[in-house]
Amino acid sequence: MIRSILTNKWFKFITIGTLYSLWVIWLGSYLWFLGLAIIFDIYITEKVHWAFWKKKNPPNGKQTKVVEWVDAIIFAVIAATFIRMFFIEAYTIPTSSMEKSMLVGDYLFVSKTAYGPKTPNTPLSFPFVHNTMPVVGGKSYSEAITRPYKRLKGFTTIKNNDVVVFHFPEGDTVALGIPNQSYYQLTRTYGKNRVWSEKRNFGEIIARPVDKRENYIKRCVGIPGDKIEIKKGQLFVNDQPQEKYDGMQFDYLVKTNGTAINPKALDKLHIAEDDRNTYSSQQYLFPLTQDAAEKIEDFANVTAVEKLLEEPGNWERNIFPADSRYPWNVDNFGPLTIPAKGETVSLTIDNLPLYRRIIDIYEENDLEVSGNEIKINGEVATSYTFKMDYYWMMGDNRHNSADSRYWGFVPEDHVVGKAKFIWLSLDKDKSFPANIRFKRLFTRVR
């Protein structure tokens, strides 16, 4: 009885049609309801041979093994692409910017439904590939069809201290020879003419749409409307010190009495080999948590452990907004208020560097500056109203993280999802099976 119901074509149509209808309602694009006609034909009328790779009426009702494999592969690709696009996506930690909260070699699942999945800006794309074709190189997507930003309804909104995956804000322009470095920092350092002309060193310069920019993972420390400020390495949000995390790291200078620190002792403190910077047998530079710093201080041959902090007023030219009127550095920054959708700010020549990229790039206005006059879309502007919410992202490895301190605000249309849990963790400094960090398997991201 139950089997006859499950195999009944009307039961299949009603079930699939209902699920499809719920997806269309969630998508909010009701033209997709036309797809119900296709589902009706697949299960009821069978007028069109949609599965063209199959024989319509095979002998004995059986397909060949090759056709069965093709059928299974096509279904798996469609299902996996749909799940990856709208529900959950795998991600790996490639750099140490979030250590020790997240470790290089952690493999995560990122929830798209937490904040609501984005519909693709470039829907014509090779499956399971982000922006570059493997082996052969070249773009993995086509911009023949492009769609504006749209986010579906999610279960929650971004909150302070969430660990968030997002598209790199300065990834709209990329030097393919050095794809992991900011094009804008490269031009500030080497000059635009050199970056564009020296293709052997910098490669081709290309533009990328929002959804095909590199993915980053950081902790959201500021949400729309928050005031953020960093004083001597301490982050303040709305004048309150940020909650401390066990995994938060800073750079420390470690001095010894002349004898070397035992590498096995550093292994026990989980200091990766790439983080062991040795100046001499008497001086080391390590990124350390507060707990690790205290333990190293107790080593018999250690004479001093000093946290390295920049002094206020020592301007770092690559720190946002890369303007001498804001002489900030990684340890002394702000105060700065995070823009919120619908909020209006007064615009002056002095504060324009803070909002120039928002106005010109993220919100796609025509911005011109002539002397002390600011024009937006041809009109003189003394104020600006933001069209999107913005966020402030920082790595927990505070002295080894390219984050909002370097490239500023993260627009809401760049947000991909929320990091949920670690399903695998591999230590690249060890060989199998010792490289598996069993204690991190299937643990929640905090």
Interval 287-315: pLDDT, tens: 999 999 999 999 989 999 999 999 998 99
Integer CA distances (angstroms), 54 to 47, 58, 59, 145, in order: 15, 8, 12, 30
Mean per-residue pLDDT, 128-150: 88
CA angle 272, 277, 278 (to 5 degrees): 125
Does 404 have pLDDT greater than 80? Answer: yes
Closest residue by Cα to residue 94 from 428, 445, 446:
428
Question: Cα 150 to the chain's mean position, in Å?
Answer: 18
Average pLDDT over residues 326-353: 96
Q: Is the dihedral of CA 310, 312, 313, 316 positive or negative?
A: positive
Query: How many Å apart are CA 133 and CA 142, to the nearest integer?
Result: 12
Q: Is 169 exposed, middle or buried (0-12, 13-18, 19+ CB in 10 A)?
A: buried
Confidence (pLDDT) at 54: 67
Domains observed in the chain: 1-50 (no CATH), 250-307 (3.30.70), 344-385 (no CATH)
| Confidence at 59, pLDDT banded by 50, 70, 90 | low
Cβ pair 233, 401 in contact under 8 A: no
What's the pLDDT score for residue 281?
74
- With a cut of 70, say whether residue 56 has pLDDT above it: no
8 Å CB contact between 435 and 428: yes
Residue 60: its pLDDT value, please? Answer: 64
User: Does pLDDT of 392 surpass 70?
Assistant: yes
CB of 330 closer than 8 Å to CB of 319: yes
First to last CA, the chain: 48
Q: Which residue has the higher pLDDT, 264 or 333?
A: 333
Question: What is the distance between the alpha carbons of residues 25 and 32, in angstroms, rounded to a whole number?
Answer: 9
Q: Percentage of the chain with pLDDT > 90?
A: 61
Cβ(428)–Cβ(116) below 8 Å: no
Structure tokens at 245: 């995390």
Please compute the mean of the pLDDT values over residues 115-137 and round it to a whole number.
89
- HSE of 11, CA atoms in CB hemisphere, 13 A: 7
Q: Which of 213, 225, 236, 244 is nearest to 159 (CA)?
A: 225
Residues 6 or more apart whose CB falls under 8 angstroms from that of 344 comprise 383, 384, 385, 386
Tokens of 394: 């920082």
The mean pLDDT value for 354-380 works out to 95
What does 58-85 look like in DSSP terms, one character per residue?
-GGG---HHHHHHHHHHHHHHHHHHHHH
CA Rg value for the chain = 26
Q: Name the amino acid, one letter, at 158.
A: I
- In this model, does residue 102 exceed pLDDT 90? no
Question: Bridge partners of 383?
Answer: 346
At 346 the pLDDT is 96
Q: Give the range among 55-69, 272-286, 367-381, 388-402 with minimum mean pLDDT.
A: 55-69
The CA distance from 142 to 123, in Å, is: 8
Phi (first) and psi of residue 25, to 5 degrees: -65, -45
E-strand stretches of 257-409: 277-278, 283-288, 302-307, 333-337, 344-346, 367-370, 373-376, 379-380, 383-385, 390-394
The CB density around residue 259, as the number of other CB atoms within 10 Å, is 12
Higher pLDDT, 134 or 387: 387
Alpha-carbon distance of 127 to 12, in angstroms, equals 27
Quick check: 115 and 157 in contact, CB under 8 A? Answer: yes
Q: pTM here? A: 0.89
Question: What's the pLDDT band for 52 if we cut at 50, 70, 90?
Answer: low
**Cα distance between residue 435 and residue 371, in whole Å:** 59
pLDDT over threshold 80, residue 103: yes
Could you give the CA distance from residue 284 to residue 256 in angstroms, rounded to a whole number? 9
Closest-CA residue to 295 (of 278, 270, 331): 270
Between 235 and 430, the higher pLDDT residue: 235
- The string of pLDDT tens digits covering residues 183-212 is 999 999 999 999 999 999 999 999 999 999
pLDDT in tens, 270-280: 888 888 888 87
CA 367 to chain centre: 27
Question: 246 falls in which pLDDT band (50, 70, 90)?
Answer: confident
Backbone angles phi, psi at 139, to 5 degrees: -65, 140
Contact 128, 80 (CB under 8 A): yes
232 φ/ψ sector (left φ>0, alpha ψ -120 to 50, else beta): left
How much is the pLDDT for 405? 97
Which positions ≥6 away from 2 have C-beta within 8 Å?
none
CB 184 within 8 Å of CB 406: no
Identify whether the C-beta of residue 338 lies closer than 8 Å to the C-beta of residue 223: yes
Q: What is the pLDDT of residue 57?
A: 66
Of residues 319 and 64, which shows the higher confidence score? 319
